[in-house]
Amino acid sequence: MTTLKAVRGTRDLLPAETGLWNRIEATARQVFARYNFGEIRTPVFEDTTLFARGVGEETDIVSKEMYTWEDRARAQSEKTQSLTLRPENTAGVVRAYIEHKLGETGQLQKLYYIGPQFRRERPQRGRYRQFSQIGAEVIGPVSAGSESPLRDAEVLEMLATLLDELGISGWVLKLNSVGSATDRPKYIETLRAALLPVVGQMCPDCQRRAETNPLRVLDCKVAEDQPFIDALPKIADSLDQASRDHFAQVCAALDAAGVPYERDHRLVRGLDYYTRTTFEFTHGGLGAQNALLGGGRYDGLSELIGGPKAPGIGFAMGEDRLVLTLQALESTKITLLDTKIDAYIAPLGEAQNPAALQLARELRRQGLSIELGDGSFRLKKSFEAADKVARAIILLGEDEAQSGILTVKQFSSGMQTKVARADLAAHLTASRI
Q: In 3-state terms, what secondary structure has residue 326? A: helix
CB 131 within 8 A of CB 317: no
Shortest distance, position 281 Cβ to ligand ATP, whole Å = 8
Closer residue to ligand ATP (CB): 289 or 366? 289
Closer residue to ligand ATP (CB): 320 or 371? 320
CB 373 within 8 A of CB 347: yes
Q: In 3-state terms, what secondary structure has residue 85? A: strand
In this chain, which of 62, 159, 178, 293 binds ligand ATP, going by CB under 6 A?
293
Shortest distance, position 293 Cβ to ligand ATP, whole Å = 5
Largest Cα separation within the chain, whole Å, is 92
Is position 209 an interface residue for ligand ATP (rule: CB under 6 A)? no
CA dihedral angle for residue 149, residue 153, residue 156, residue 160, rounded to 10 degrees: 180
How many H helices and E strands in the chain?
16, 16
Closer residue to ligand ATP (CB): 141 or 318? 318
In this chain, which of 316, 360, 386, 406 binds ligand ATP, going by CB under 6 A?
316
Q: CB 428: neighbour CB atoms within 10 A?
A: 24
Closer residue to ligand ATP (CB): 47 or 65? 65
Crossing angle for the helix pair 15-34 and 330-337, to the nearest 10 degrees: 110
Residue ranges of the alpha helices (H) in 52-125?
A: 60, 90-99
- Which one of the spans 10-18, 290-298, 340-348, 399-407 is the region binding ligand ATP (CB under 6 A)? 290-298
Shortest distance, position 150 Cβ to ligand ATP, whole Å = 23
Shortest distance, position 80 Cβ to ligand ATP, whole Å = 28
- Which one of the spans 240-248, 289-297, 362-370, 380-388 is the region binding ligand ATP (CB under 6 A)? 289-297
Is position 291 an interface residue for ligand ATP (rule: CB under 6 A)? yes
Q: How many residues bind ligand ATP (CB under 6 A)?
A: 19
C-alpha triplet 263, 266, 270: angle, nearest 5°: 120
Shortest distance, position 392 Cβ to ligand ATP, whole Å = 40
Closer residue to ligand ATP (CB): 294 or 375? 294
Looking at residues 21 to 50 of the shown chain, list those that interact with ligand ATP (rule: CB under 6 A). none
Sheet holding 405-410, edge to edge: 370-372, 343-347, 392-396, 405-410, 416-420
Closer residue to ligand ATP (CB): 45 or 411? 45
**C-alpha–C-alpha distance, residues 420 and 398, integer Å:** 15
CB 38 within 8 A of CB 112: yes
In this chain, which of 63, 289, 407, 431 binds ligand ATP, going by CB under 6 A?
289
- Report which secondary-structure segment, H or E, holds 15: helix 15-34
Looking at residues 113 to 172 of the shown chain, list those that interact with ligand ATP (rule: CB under 6 A). 119, 121, 126-128, 131, 133
- Nearest alpha carbon to residue 71 among 84, 62, 58, 80: 80
Closer residue to ligand ATP (CB): 43 or 287? 287
Is position 318 an interface residue for ligand ATP (rule: CB under 6 A)? yes
Instruction: State the residues that interact with ligand ATP by CB under 6 A.
Output: 88, 119, 121, 126-128, 131, 133, 269-270, 289, 291-294, 316, 318, 320-321
